[in-house]
Structure 1
Amino acid sequence: MNNGLKALRLSSDELGAQGAFAAWQASLPQFSTDLNGAAMADFRVEQTAWLMDSLIVGSGLLAPIRVVRTLSQIGDGYSQFQFIQSIRGRWTGDADGRAIEAEEGDTICFDTARPFRVVNTFSNHRFLVVPRDKLPHALVSNPALHGTVLRSAGNFVLAAHLDALMRCLPALHEEEAARLTRGTLAILTAALGEIDDQRLSKAETQPAQPALRLRVERYIEHNLASPELTPEAISRDLGIARSSLYRAFSPLGGISSFIQLRRLDTACALLFHPEEHRSVRELAETLGFENSATFSKAFRRRFGCSPREARGRGTTQSRDTKAMFERWQVATQPPQQAAQDRSLVGAESV
C-alpha cells in the first residue's frame, strides 16, 4: 500500500503572531532565535514542509527574524546540512567569520555542526534539510561549504527542480519519494560543485584568518588518522605560529576540539557506509582515538547514542531527520492537538 508523505503547515493566520512565533521557536531548539528588534505584532509566517524519504523539503513566507547557532549549542550533536533558497528577500550574516550575503535566486549552504548567524528581510524561500551521510564525503568534509552562497547555473537547475518538486509533494507516495530523493541529491551535489570554483576565484580577496583556517582544515582532513595530529604538528608542518593557529580556531572552540569533532563526524559517516565493515574498535584506532572506550564516550556525548547503537539503527539520534520532522509536527500544531500528541508519545514510551 502506498502512503502519502508526512507533512506540516505553520500559519500565523491560524495561530496568531505570538502563537506562530512560539511554535516556530519550539520547532528549532537547536538554534537561538528572535525577532531581531521587530514587533511581535508584525511577525508573519506561512510555511509548509514534507518529509521526503530522508530529506525535509519545504517553502514559505517568513517575516524578519534572526537565527544563531552558537559555539555552545554545537555540543548538542545536531549535525545536518540546511540549504535556504531565496525566492524573494535578502539574507545576511556570517558563518565562521565568513560574510553571508544572499539575494533573490541565491542558495545559502549551512553546516549545523558549525556556528553561524543569519538575519533576513521579509522573505519567500524554499529550504532543504539533508543528513550528512547523504552527501559525498568530499563535500561533507569541505570546510568551504559552510556559508557558501550558490549562484551558478547548477543553482538555477536546483531552483527549478525544487520548484517542480514542491508542486508534486502533496500527491507523492513513499516509493516515489525514495526515487525522487536520489535525483534531488544528485542535482544538489552537482550544484555544490560550484564551491571549489568560488574558493579559487576568491582566494586573493579572502580575509587572512578564514583563509588560514581553510588551509589548516584541509591539512586536518588529510591527517585525521594520524595519532600525531596535534596543534604542535600543524604549526610545525604548515609554518603557522601557534598563536595564529589558536586565534583562527577560537570561534570553533579551539583547534583540539575541532580535530575531535572532525574525527567524530568522519567516524559517524563511516559507520553508515555500506562497504565499511571494520569494528568500532578498529574505527577508533584508525581515527586516532586512544581506545574504543574514549571514542564511544565522545561519540555518545556528541550524537546521543553509542557507535554500535548508531550503526544498528542506521542513524544517530541527532541526525535522524524523521524524528526531527515528527518534533516539528508536534511543535507546529494547534495547542490542543499538540498536547494530545505529546501525551500519546509519552504513553507509547511507557
Structure 2
Amino acid sequence: MVAAGGRLVAEGPDGLLASQGQQDGPIPHFEFSTDELSQADQFDAWRHNFAPMLDLTPTGDRPDLMVGRQVIWDLGCLAFTSISTEALHFASLPGRVRRDALDHWMLTLILDGEASTVAGERSFEGGAGEVQLHPLGQPFEGHVTDSHMLMLLIPRDFFQEQAGALSLAEFSTLGGGMGLLLADYIIGLARRLPRLTVADLPAIAAATRAMILACISPSPDHLDEAKAPISIMLLERARQYINANLYNPNLDNDMLCRALGISRTRLYRLFEPSGGVMRYILHRRLLDAHSKLADPAETRRIFEIAEQRGFNDGAEFSRAFRREFGYSPSEVRSRGMGAIPARPLADLAALEPVERLGQLLRRLQS
C-alpha cells in the first residue's frame, strides 16, 4: 500500500456502493493532491481541505506554495487518512467547535517528520514511530515539519461509555511498549485496506476499538490532578444522558444537574468549550433533524420532525437550522443535501476533493 516516496495509495475504482452485491468489493478511497494546482492556489486549497478541523498557516518564504497529498478511507464509523505535508503551523478551531461541536479525537502516527503541540500549560512532541492524541473540541496549537503521517479520526460516540479512557490520554505522545503496539496496528491497517472489502468494515471497527482501548493508558501527568479525570467522566455521562434524552422537551440545565448530581456552576464549566449546555443540546437536535430530513425513507412533514426535537414553532426551527448549516430544512429534503448513506462514500464521490474530508467529519458526528 505504501508506494514510492511514501505515498499511501490503493487500487480500486472510486465507485459508489449502492447495492448489496457491492459489499464484497474493495473499500473505495479518495485522493487529493496539490500537485495539479497552480502554485498560487496550493496552500489555500490545502488549508481549505483541513478547515473543518484545523486552521493551517504556512511557514517559509513562499506561503502560497504547498506540496501536500492525502488519501481518505471511509471506514463507516471512522475515518482513516494518509497525509504527506510540508512544514506548517496548525491550531484547533474553538470558535468553529462551538458552532459544529466536533467531538472527534485525532489519533496520529508520525511515519516521518516531527510534530509539537501546546495546549494551555501542557506541551508535548512526537517523532517518527510515535502516536499522538488530540481532541478536536479543545484549544491547542503546534507545528509540524515536512512529514508523512497516518491518522484515525474517531468520533466520541465510537467508544460510548469507554470514552473516558481516551480522554485521560488527550494531549500526549503515547510511548512505551503499548504505544509501539498501537503504531504497528495502524501501519498494518494501512497495508491491509486494499485487500479488505466493504463487508469487512464491522470487523475493522471492532478490532480498532479493541486495540485502542488496550494500548492507551492514562498519562501520569493527567492523573496528578484528581479533578481532571472526574470532570472528564462527568462530561461523558452528561453527553450520554443528552443523547438518550434528546427528544425530551424538559431536557435542560436543571434536568442534567439532577441526573448527574452536580451544581449548575459545575455543569456550565463542563460545557463551556461547546458554548454552553443548551447550545450543545440545540446542535445535537439540529444534527439529528438534518439526518432525518436527508433520509429518503423519512416521510413525515418537516414540522413533525422539528416538533419531536423540541421546536414548537416552524419558523423558529427554520431560522435555527439555517444559522447552523447555511441552508433551509426544505432544501435538505428537496435536494437530499448531506444525506448519510447506507454504504460508505456515497456522499463523497460527487464532491470536490477539498470538500471531502469536511463532509466525512460532519457525517461521523451525525
Question: What TM-score does the superposition give when structure 2 sets the normalisation length?
Answer: 0.60
Tell me the residue number matched to 2:17: none
Counterpart among 232, 237, 240 of residue 221 in structure 1: 240
Q: 1:191-222: per-residue Cα shift (whole Å, max 9, x none)?
A: 332598528x6664248478536424524523
Pair 1:127 & 2:147 matched:
no
The equivalent residue for 2:108 is: 84
In 1, distance between residues paired with 2:291 and 2:159?
10
CA shift at 1:166, angstroms? 3.6
TM-score (norm 1): 0.62
Q: What residue in structure 1 maps to residue 87 of structure 2?
A: 63
Match of 1:24 among 46, 51, 66: 46
Larger mean Cα displacement after TM superposition, 78-87 or 297-306? 297-306
> 1:61, 1:124 within 8 Å by CA — same for their partners in 2?
yes
SS of the residue 1:26 aligns to:
helix
- CA–CA distance in structure 1, aligned partners of residues 293 and 125 of structure 2: 35
Determine helix, strand or coil for the equivalent of 2:92.
Answer: strand
The alpha-carbon deviation at position 253 of structure 1 amounts to 0.8
Aligned to 2:57: 34
1:184 match: 204
**Structure 2 residue identity aligned to 1:29:** A
CA RMSD of aligned residues (A): 5.2
Q: Deviations over 1:81-116 (max 9, x none)?
A: 54322233123133xx694635231132444xx344
CA distances 1:152-196 after superposition (whole Å, capped 9, x unpaired): 766544432432444456xx37xx441454443223212332598
Whole-angstrom distance in 2 between the partners of 1:279 and 1:145: 43
- Tell me the amino acid that sits aligned with residue 212 of structure 2: L
Structure 2: which amino acid aligns with 1:3? P
Equivalent pairs, count: 313
Contact 1:155-1:191 at 8 Å conserved across structures: no
The 1:296–1:187 alpha-carbon spacing in structure 2 relative to 1, beyond 3 Å, is farther
- Alignment-derived partner of residue 30 in structure 2: 7
Is 1:108 the counterpart of 2:127 in the alignment? no
* 1:249 equivalent in alignment to 2:261: no
Deviates more, 1:118-127 or 1:102-111: 102-111
1:251 aligns to what SS in structure 2?
helix
1:47 equivalent to 2:57? Answer no
Where does structure 2 lack aligned partners over 5 or more consecutive residues? Answer: 1-11, 15-27, 295-299, 357-366
1:210–1:248 contact (8 Å) kept in structure 2: no
In the alignment, the residues of structure 1 paired with residue 114 and residue 281 of structure 2 have an alpha-carbon distance, to the nearest angstrom, of 37
Deviation, 1:250, is: 2.9
CA distance in 2, matches of 1:182, 1:155: 24
Cα 1:145–1:300 shift into 2, 3 Å: farther
Of residues 263-272 and 118-127 in structure 1, the stretch that sits farther from structure 2 once superposed is 263-272
Alpha-carbon distance in structure 2 between the residues aligned to 1:93 and 1:154: 24
Query: Which residue in 1 is equivalent to 2:224?
Result: 205
The residue type paired with residue 256 of structure 1 is: M
Tell me if the contact between 2:168 and 2:229 (Cα under 8 Å) persists in the aligned partners. Answer: no
Percent sequence identity over aligned pairs: 20
User: In structure 2, the residue corresponding to 1:193 is in which secondary structure?
Assistant: helix
Instruction: Give the gaps of 5 or more residues in structure 1.
Output: 273-277, 333-350
* Contact persistence 2:30–2:72 (CA under 8 A): yes
CA change 1:69–1:255 in 2 (3 A) is same
CA contact (8 A) 1:154 1:190 kept: no
Contact 2:106 2:152 in 1 (8 A): yes
Which string of whole-angstrom CA distances, capped at 9 and with x for unpartnered residues, describes residues 47-75 of structure 1?
23144564442132431321322224542
CA apart distance, 1:119? 1.6
CA 1:117–1:203 in structure 2 vs 1: closer, same or farther (change >3 Å)?
A: closer
